[in-house]
Amino acid sequence: MPISLSDLDLLANGNVTAINPTFSQTVQRSKIINAETITTVMEPTERSWSIVGFFRDSIEGNADYDTLNELLTRGDVYPFANSRNDYDAPRFAFVKLAGAGYGFPSGHLLNYSLQCFEVPAWGRTSCDTDNVSLLDKIYRKAYRELLSPLWHKCDWAMDPYTRYFQYDFYVRNDGDADLDPVFEIQVPDSLTSAQLLYYKDDTDKWQEIGYWGDTDSWGDTEEFTDAGPVTHEVTLNATIRDGAVTGVGTASLRFGCEARLMFNITNLKLDDTGGVDAKTKYDSDQLLLRLKIVYESDVTTWIDSLV
Contact present, 254 and 262 (Cβ < 8 Å):
no
Nearest CA-CA partner of 261 in 121, 95, 94, 78: 121
The pLDDT-based confidence of 89 (bands split at 50, 70, 90) is very low
- With a threshold of 0.75, does the pTM exceed it? no
Q: Where are the domains of the chain?
A: 3-118, 125-303
Nearest CA-CA partner of 110 in 54, 50, 53: 54
Question: What gap in Å lies between CA 191 and CA 179, rounded to an integer?
Answer: 29
Average pLDDT over residues 155-174: 90
Query: What architecture (CATH level 2) is domain 3-118?
Result: Beta Barrel (2.40)
Contact present, 111 and 51 (Cβ < 8 Å):
no
188-231 residue pLDDT tens: 999 999 999 999 999 999 999 999 999 999 999 999 999 999 99
